[in-house]
Structure 1
Amino acid sequence: MRKPRDFDAELKALEDKARELKTRKVQQLGELVIATGADELSPGELAGALVAIAETTDTAKREAWAKRGVMFFESRSRRTAPASQRNVRGAQTQSGSPQSPAGGTGSQ
């Protein structure tokens, strides 16, 4: 005979996991704001910028922002990577398409 399932315990475990995931997401978003320097903006400025970005349907702008974000994270990982890994990553990015982090329409 099978042992009856404890639905209350399973539900509590799922709720705890959901709470943990939400907490981790909030923490990671906060870290992202700090890492990009956006923590120097007022809450109103930051919220306004995020609302404008979320409402943007221009695919070209969104792709430019995504590329700029990738470059941001790649440059951060190169700064924190050991020297042996830094050279490998630098060679990989140089062999791709040449793009300047400050260039393009990504800041709009």
Structure 2
Amino acid sequence: MRKPRDIDSELKALEAKAKALKERRVRQLGELVIATGADALDADMFAGALLGAVAAKDTSVKEGWRKAGARFFQRSARKPAPRAGRDNEGAAPGDNNAPSA
């Protein structure tokens, strides 16, 4: 005889997995914003840029953005993106990017 399935526990497990995936996605989007330096933009400008990208109809423009994004990820695999508007107060000792005294 087959053991009956516990649908409630399976549903709870799936809900927990979905919640973890959503949290991971949000965290990765935040990391992407920081890695690209977009965190230096104010919220209105950042939201406007995203809305403009979503509303864009020109496929050649979108393809240009896609290629730039691919180059960013290829470059970032080798070195971190420059962080505009940031100082290195929290730089680790011996960090080559730390300001000299």
Which TM-score applies when normalising by structure 1? 0.72
**Cα RMSD after superposing both structures:** 1.0
Partner of 1:63: 63
Give the aligned residue type for 1:71: R
Partner of 1:17: 17
Identical aligned residues as a percent: 56
Q: Does 1:50 align with 2:50?
A: yes
DSSP-derived class of the 2:79 partner: helix
SS at match of 1:48: helix
What is the TM-score when the length of structure 2 is the normalising length? Answer: 0.76
Structure 1, unaligned stretches of length 5 or more?
Answer: 81-108
Letter in 2 for 1:24: R
Alignment of 1:72-87 (within 5 A): 72-79=72-79
Between the aligned partners of 2:32 and 2:78, the Cα distance in structure 1 is 17
- Structure with greater proportional helix content: 1
How far off its partner does 1:79 sit? 2.4
- Equivalent residue for 1:39? 39
Secondary structure of the structure 2 residue equivalent to 1:2: coil
Ranges in structure 2 where 5+ consecutive residues have no aligned partner: 81-101
Alignment-derived partner of residue 30 in structure 1? 30
Count of equivalent residues: 80
Runs of 4+ with deviation above 2 angstroms: none
Cα separation, 2, equivalents of 1:18 and 1:8: 15
